[in-house]
Chain A
Amino acid sequence: SQQGEEDPQALSIQEGENATMNCSYKTSINNLQWYRQNSGRGLVHLILIRSNEREKHSGRLRVTLDTSKKSSSLLITASRAADTASYFCATDEEGAQKLVFGQGTRLTINP
């Protein structure tokens, strides 16, 4: 079952602006990951944050995790046209050997 909810479902911004996507989940987790998928292609791992971490940075990406609210956010700063893609959060549930993906946010960066 897909436990993650993401919002917004779709986001359209101008190049250079920041993009923020949110993810909520329902069960206890070991960690939370964000993946990017370009249209009709495979997913690419972006960043992983562990359940005992609150914030993590990687280049233009900033991820936060609030386990009390069971939510995470992904911030992409100074967006580029190449950032146009779908973004999925994925949780690694405690005791389970699998990822559960959120519904995804479709991000469009307008030049």
Chain B
Amino acid sequence: DTEVTQTPKHLVMGMTNKKSLKCEQHMGHRAMYWYKQKAKKPPELMFVYSYEKLSINESVPSRFSPECPNSSLLNLHLHALQPEDSALYLCASSQDSLPEQFFGPGTRLTVL
């Protein structure tokens, strides 16, 4: 299985809602990533997990809360988001020693 899956594909939420994005891979990769991508812009790194531990937080606001329950699963918990947080959220994974990243299809998030 060489696929990274993300659910849901689309999400619309209000500013007071709590929701979660889910990412899963079964390639045995030990590094997993969350990116945010606005239209016509490159992906911006948010978080990196290495061996299930948070290793990089790119100064992301606390309304975004990542979680890595096990080596195959990565969640992003969302709470009290702002309309400017609307974007495509991409998950990726990689073998710890190799730079190539495998991306999921993304979750299109709209905050009303």
On A, residues with C-beta under 8 Å from B are 2, 4, 30-31, 33, 35, 40-45, 48, 88, 92, 97-104, 106
Contact = CB atoms under 8 A, between A and B. Distances in A.
Given A97-B50, A97-B55, A44 B103 contact: yes
A2 B103 contact: no
A43 B55 CA distance: 22
A106 B56 CA distance: 29
Range for the number of chain B residues in contact with chain A: 20 to 34
Q: Which 10 A-B pairs have the closest CB atoms?
A: A42-B103, A101-B42, A43-B103, A92-B99, A42-B105, A45-B100, A42-B104, A98-B45, A42-B106, A104-B42
Nearest to B39: A40
Contacts of B41: 103-104
Contacts of B42: 2, 4, 88, 101-104
A95 to B, nearest CB: 13
B21 interface: no
Interface SS, A side: strand
B43 A97 contact: no
A13 to B, nearest CB: 19
B8 to A, nearest CB: 14
Contact of B99 (A40, A99, A103): A99
Nearest to B4: A42
B13 to A, nearest CB: 19
A40 B88 CA distance: 8
B85 to A, nearest CB: 17
A20 B85 CA distance: 33
Nearest to A106: B40
A31 B104 CA distance: 22
The interface centre, meaning the residue of A31, A33, A43, A106 with most chain B CB atoms within 10 A of its CB, is A43
